[in-house]
């Protein structure tokens, strides 16, 4: 066997915490899974070393929240989605304020601190409807965070309301919006997006929403839905675009002088695999091996992201736990309610005791956190 000194140098570079480029990422992706996982675990340790008063490497976090889909009416018709309905469908809906109240009350009773609120691109809901909903929740449940509206929804709002993003997001924040989820990221390569969701926001649109939101002080997550028609190179390009945007946002944070609104940034990255059942997208799905490989690479590549979240919702509890040794430091939410992935045939469920068991069995301390990764209680 011929010794590869350049690979040794790359491995040492990763172990030391240095930044890698796309070509190096492709080389790492081809490593044996256990070796790539060890490198990702090392990068997790480096990223969390100073978190939680220096105890970040001992702690794995989770969140208690609820996914609330305010409507399933959508005019985008994504080929990978089994959730959307048209207005004419018998099972289409728009949530009522009373229904929303009940969901939030149940969440708070279980120790929840926020809801993840997203919905379809409804062609007829007005801006005032959204503002009224946000104000209603904020006034009735002060201190409860609304983590709502993905970038693709805001691009939809821009078109329907005929207003700039700064105006829409600013008004939503005044009404009660607290942070933005990273949904709709899919793969940030337009060639891929044109194939799987041609009517949805393109890559620059998605990134523009995040840039504006961060400038207006909001924190957000970032996602990737993979394992369909994209290539490995596409996944790496997706990671590169996220890392570049985070650099821009973190530069604003570093330059903040205490005057005006403190800028936000990405708090975490979450990747999950395409779930095929009941969807129109005909693509072979990928398994746990490729999920772990992709998450591990993401931890190494996204060197300016503090947190990587395991996707037990699509992978199951056991692989969700294993992912904590492949770069993840967070198990995400117990998912009191989940409607989108479950429509595509995946229905894993988790309780707080489950979270504690999975985390403790690996020797970590389980701690509930809020949307900003502050420990609860």
Label residue 348 by pLDDT band (50, 70, 90). low
Region of poorest pLDDT, from 103-107, 236-240, 293-297: 103-107
Fold of 21-368: TIM Barrel (3.20.20)
pLDDT digits (tens, 9 = 90+) for 164-178: 999 999 999 999 999
Per-residue confidence at 283, pLDDT binned at 50, 70, 90?
low
Residue 288 in contact with residue 251, Cβ under 8 Å? Answer: no
Average pLDDT value for residue range 108-136: 89
pLDDT band at 357 (very low <50, low <70, confident <90, very high): very high
Mean pLDDT of the chain: 89
Rounded to an integer, the average pLDDT of 227-237 is 94
pLDDT at 81: 57
pLDDT of residue 116: 92
Average pLDDT of span 213-226: 96
Instruction: Give the DSSP H/E element, type plus range, for residue 248.
Output: helix 232-255
| 232-255 vs 22-29: helix crossing angle, rounded to 10 | 130
Q: What is the pLDDT of residue 177?
A: 98
Angle subtended at Cα 145 by Cα 142 and Cα 263, rounded to the nearest 5 degrees: 115
Residue 3 burial by CB count (10 A; 0-12/13-18/19+): exposed, middle or buried?
Answer: exposed
User: What's the CA gap between 284 and 92, in Å, rounded?
Assistant: 29
Pairing of strands 266-273, 220-226: parallel
User: What are 62-78's pLDDT values in tens digits?
Assistant: 999 888 888 877 765 54
Give the pLDDT score at 346. Answer: 43
Strand partners, 269: 222, 308
The pLDDT, as a whole number, for residue 231 is 94
Q: Give the model's pLDDT for residue 66.
A: 87
Give the confidence band of 287 by pLDDT, cuts at 50, 70, 90: confident
Give the domain ranges of the chain.
21-368
Whether the CB-CB separation of 70 and 94 falls below 8 Å is answered with yes
Q: What is the pLDDT of residue 79?
A: 52
pLDDT at 340 over 60: no
124 falls in which pLDDT band (50, 70, 90)?
confident
pLDDT band at 86 (very low <50, low <70, confident <90, very high): low
Mean local confidence (pLDDT), 29-43: 97
Tokens of 293: 């490989």
SS3 category, 78:
coil
Q: What is the pLDDT of residue 265?
A: 98
Could you tell me how many residues make up the chain?
377
For 329-339, write each residue's pLDDT tens digit.
999 988 776 44
Whole-number percent of the chain with pLDDT over 70: 89
Q: Residue 300: is its pLDDT beyond 50? A: yes
pLDDT-based confidence at residue 342 (cuts at 50, 70, 90): very low
DSSP H helical ranges for 17-126 = 22-29, 33-48, 97-109
Query: What pLDDT band is residue 241 in, cutting at 50, 70 and 90?
Result: very high
**Residue 91, helix vs strand vs coil:** coil
Residue 1 predicted with pLDDT over 60: no
- Residue by residue, DSSP assigns 163-185 as --HHHHHHHHHHHT--BB--TT-
pLDDT band, very low/low/confident/very high, at 347 (cuts 50, 70, 90): very low
Stretch 308-324: mean pLDDT: 90
pLDDT of residue 275: 66
**In the predicted structure, residue 345 carries a pLDDT above the cut 70:** no
């Amino acid at each position: 066997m011929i010794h590869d000194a350049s690979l040794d140098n790359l491995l040492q570079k990763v172990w030391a915490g240095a930044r890698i480029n796309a070509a190096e990422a492709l080389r790492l992706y081809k490593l044996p899974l256990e070796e790539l996982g060890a490198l990702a675990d090392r990068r997790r340790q480096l990223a969390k070393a100073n978190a939680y008063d220096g105890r970040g490497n001992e702690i794995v976090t989770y969140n208690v929240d609820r996914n609330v889909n305010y409507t399933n009416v959508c005019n985008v018709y994504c080929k990978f989605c089994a959730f959307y309905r048209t207005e004419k469908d018998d099972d289409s809906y728009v949530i009522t304020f009373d229904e929303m109240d009940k969901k939030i009350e149940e969440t708070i009773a279980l120790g929840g601190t926020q809801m993840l609120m997203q919905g379809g691109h409804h062609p007829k809901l007005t801006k005032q409807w959204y503002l009224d909903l946000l104000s209603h929740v904020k006034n009735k449940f002060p201190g409860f965070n609304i983590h709502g509206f993905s970038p693709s929804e805001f691009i939809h709002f821009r078109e329907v309301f005929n207003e700039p993003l700064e105006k829409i997001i600013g008004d939503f924040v005044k009404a009660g919006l607290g942070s933005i989820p990273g949904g709709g990221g899919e793969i940030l390569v337009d060639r891929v997006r044109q194939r799987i969701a041609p009517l949805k926001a393109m890559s620059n649109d998605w990134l523009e929403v995040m840039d504006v939101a961060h400038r207006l002080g909001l924190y957000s997550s970032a996602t990737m839905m993979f394992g369909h028609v994209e290539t490995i190179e596409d996944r790496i390009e997706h990671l590169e675009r996220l890392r570049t945007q985070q650099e821009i946002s973190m530069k604003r944070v570093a330059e903040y002088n205490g005057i005006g609104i403190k800028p936000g940034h990405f708090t975490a990255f979450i990747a999950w695999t395409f779930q095929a059942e009941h969807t129109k997208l005909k693509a072979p799905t990928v398994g746990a091996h490729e999920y772990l490989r992709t998450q591990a690479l993401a931890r190494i590549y996204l060197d300016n992201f503090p947190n990587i979240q395991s996707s037990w919702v699509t992978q199951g509890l056991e692989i969700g736990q294993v992912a904590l040794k492949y770069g993840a430091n967070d198990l995400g939410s117990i998912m009191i309610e989940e409607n989108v992935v479950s429509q595509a045939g995946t229905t894993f469920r988790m309780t707080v005791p489950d979270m504690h068991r999975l985390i403790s069995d690996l020797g970590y301390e389980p701690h509930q956190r809020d949307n900003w990764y502050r420990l609860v209680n």
